[in-house]
Every structure is written in structure tokens, then in C-alpha cells.
Structure 1
Amino acid sequence: MIVENLLEVRNLSTAFDTEAGLLRAVDGVCFDVPRSSCVGIVGESGCGKSVTAMSIIRLLPQPMGKIVGGKIIFKGQDLVTASVDDMYSIRGKDIGVIFQEPMTALNPVHTIGKQIGESLMLHRGFNAREARQAAIELLRKVRIPAPESRVDEFPHQMSGGMRQRVVVAIALACHPNLIIADEPTTALDVTVQAQILNLLQELREEMNASSILITHDLGVIAQSCDSVVVMYAGRVVERAPVRELFANPMHAYTRSLLESIPRLTSVPKSYLPTIPGQVAPISEYVNGCRFCQRMGIPVEELTERPRLIEVAPGHWVEDCPRCRSFR
């Protein structure tokens, strides 16, 4: 059976114009988002996950950020070449975004109801009364208690978990085809994290939408996603169906991330494995394997970019001899 893709990202490269020149934060990224599926993007901070998401919706910092190559095909249209007016109509209506920090994503001087209703008035033609009533229903759907009174409150009057639910309500207000959730559980306690993730999954299934879930947490990936994209230093080093990736991780970086997760079989109070070093600054990226760069391989030996190869159906990995597992 051929699976139809809602979104296809092909050789996406995004750069920032700095005093040191044009630096690529995202370098040749490729992945697909099939209809009615959830794709997870995982990696450490600074690996290009959020920049990839902001490239898809064309919300890069201006004038420094720019897409310098590749295609982003959404419902048959290339978003890289789409006009500004086209993107205004796509964002919010066809692509909903749950931003990383709800307190900065919400406007502190406008009520919750006004911020939810703005999208409904812009994209669905609601008047103010209809938008307010719809906002109340959306607050009820995301399980905020007493939505009739909460709709007139300001963001600072709500807890972090409630603010996150409001951001979810705004993203889903127009029943988008694609939901991009950029670390939607950041700074929330474990119980609230589980509630938000379950809520997202239920609403996505109810609307028959696709989603991209960006996170550091491989446990969240295992729970919520159908496939996973592992990013390191602006590149995709491995991508696979989620069960295949957890059962047979092939890249050294993926294996290191998995080994750092606490397990029920771990000895109590024992040290967890950590990845030595850190992601190199963008200005110091090499053309060759960037995880080898972190592991101390001389830069002179890292001149050729490893190619992505398919090691199993739908399982792709960067073909670096040092980083691949041949088990």
C-alpha cells in the first residue's frame, strides 16, 4: 500500500547571516510526514530541530534567517517559494503551531478568549460573538475547568499547564491538517506532561490530522510517535519507524541517546551514561561526520559528508563507518 505524504521535506538548508558569514543551522534535512501520522524529531539543544520547524512555517528571525536550499512540499505546494500572503493563509488554518514556551507564546495584554478568537475571525470568518463562544468550547475541549469565566482571564492568571492547554487550543482552533508541537511539555511537571501528550494525541486522532513532535525526550517519542527523525548538528543522522529505531538503533549518536535513558533494570543510584563533549558551534561545523568531530576525530579526516543509506525498509542512517553499528 502506498502511503500518501502530507508533508515532504527535501534537502532543506537554512542559514543565518552573521558577522562570521552565512552559517547553516539546518543542512540538507529530508523527511516525510504521512497523513494521519505523528513524526518525532529528537536531538540535543542546538541540533536544528526548532529551526527546521520554523523553516516549514516560514517564521525564521528576519532579516538574518533564510532558506538557502531545498523544498518543503505541503499538500502539493512548495512552501519555500510560496508568497507571504499564501503563508498568512496557511499558518493557523492548515498548519497549527504549538510553540515551545506558552508564557512567551501568549500575549500578556490580551485575554485568552481574544487570542483564541483571533484565528477564528481571521481564517473562518467568525464575528466577535461567535469567536468568543467557539473559544469557550475549545477551552472545554482542552479540559480547562470553568471555561465561561476563564475565557476572560489573562495568561498570568493561569498555571503553566493551563497556559499550555490554551496554546494547544489556539493551534487546533481551525482544525489544521498539520500540527507542529515544539517541545510542548517544556517546564511542566511529569503528571501535566502526560496529560498534555494524551490530550494532543486524542485531538489529533479526532481531527484526523498529522503532527510533528519536537522533543528531547525519547520516552515521549516512544509513547506518541509513529516514526522518528534523529538530528545532530543540523543534519538527520537516522530516521526510522519508531519501533524499528528503538529495537535496532544504527548510529552511534542514536545509541548514546538511548543508553542515557533510565531503565527499570538499572542498578539503583548508579550513574547514567552520558555523551562526552557537546554539539559544536555552527561556525565550527565540519563537512564530514559531525558526531565524529565531537568524539575527537581530527578535523582533517572529516572532509566528506556521509551519505544516507537504507539499512531496512524505511530505516535510513548516515553511513559513517565509525558511527554505524554492524550488529
Structure 2
Amino acid sequence: MTRGTSRTAVQMSSADGCSSTWRAQLGAATRRYSSSAWRQCREAPARPPGRDQQIVVARAQVVQEGFGQPLCDAQLHALGDERRERGQHSGAQQLRRPGEVHRRGLSAEHVAAAFEGGERVERRPAMTTQNAITWPERYLPGTGDNFVSNEVVVAGLSAADVWRHLVDTSRWESYYDNVADIGFPRGGGPVLTDGIHFSFGTFGFPPLDAHVVEFQAPAEDTPGRLSWTAKQDGTPEERLDVLHAWLVEDLPGGRVRVLTQETQIGRPAAALATERPNPMLNGHQAWLDGLVGAAAE
């Protein structure tokens, strides 16, 4: 391990034209701490760096040849000690928090470049994090009797295009054939709004009493969110309690993502969960496909 670590650092720094003095120091430092400090990084908490310790921080990863592991804090501190003991200083940034090196990462060539005062820093490709549905504890997925999740990502549409067809219940039956008898017993409608009560029939159930519990129209950097509860009273064999949630968000490149998920509680839901194919899963996919098709017209 010691030999591989030293060789990797020297070879990569040589390619960058770094001084032979630095390469010798790095080789000596890695040989000195690779066997002992590597074990210490798993056994002892990293100590905060002293003010006079110069520790290189860059944004790639120092990798030990053949092991693919980043240098730990103890090893980096040892590297800083090596240079401090020699009375040498670097224009590189100090490591202000012990865990910072792991979040930023390092590469041997960037370590060498930083000690030589270079500015060569490669940035990793940007990652896209997608939003998720917010669940009340009662309806947490996996805790009910049936749960389904459907999603589409489509190019050439915006969240606003999809949203207006989703919240306008007067359009539902034009693109989804598994819904009927839509009504607003307390007034309002046909466009859904926060807190509105409505009813609709689906999957052979009589009209369910529905209540919008989350409503947030999509905006720049903000996904659209729509959730309603729907309930059916009756005997234990008939009772049904569901939460149906939607998330509509714009993605880079002119794409839109539509996610719909539903948690169901009750014996009718448990019966649906045993059917193959799952009618709820297929039904919601048809709803998604119809919604996207209507938005594209």
C-alpha cells in the first residue's frame, strides 16, 4: 500500500511538471504516514488543524493506487506536519474543518498543483436532485394496505402546461376514462383550490368524499404540489381512506416530470393490492399518459 501510494503521487505530479523537491517530500510523507495514520483515521477523531498547518484543499480526490480510497484527515495532517517541520509554507487553502477534504475530495495532481501555487481545479459534473412528495405520517408509503407510484418525464412541455389540465376537473373525463360523477357538494369548482371539498367516482367505487390538503402551483425553481384525501364510510369491509398526491416540476433541457403516488388504507385497498396486474398501478399510468397527452395538444 505504501509503495503504491507514493508511486501514484509522484507519477501524477511529474506529469504536471512539479518540482523534484515537492515530489520527494510527498513521497516521504506518504511513506511515513500511510501505514500508521491510515489506521488512525478509523480509530481516532480528527484533530482540528493548527493555525500554522498548511493543508491542501482541492475538488478532486486523492486516491491510493489499487485501493480507491481518499486520504483521511490524519494523513492530511501528517502531510501538513511534514511541510511545517521543514519550515516551508504553501499558498494553498487551509483545511478549516476536518471533514472538508472528504466533501470536496482531492487528486494527487491537484495536491501538487496547489503546493506549487497553481489554480488547476476540475469540477465534477453537476448532479440533478429531484423533488419528492411530502407525506403525512398516517399515509406514509409502505404503512398502508396498498401503495402505487407512477411517473413520467417528457420533453417539450412545461409544468404550467400540465398543471392547468390537472387542477381543472372539468377536463378529467376528456383524457381519463376511469373517473366519473365529479361534484362539488360545498360549492366552488371545477378548478381545484387549496382546502376545497369535492367528490368523484373511480375504480368502481361510488363517489368518494375528497378534500384538497396540499395545493402549490408550480413556479420557477418550485414544483407544483397537489394532494387530496378521499374517503368512503361504511362497514369495515367497505371503509376506504386514501391520500393521492401529485408533483409536477420543470427539469433542465425543457423537460417536465410528473409524479403521482397514492397510499390506501382499508380492506378494499388490501384486496386491490393482491390483484395482478395491479389495477391501481395501471389506472394511474393511464391517468398520467392522458394528462400528458392533453397538455401536449
TM-score between the two structures when normalised by the length of structure 2: 0.25
Higher relative contact order (CA 8 A, sep 6+): 1
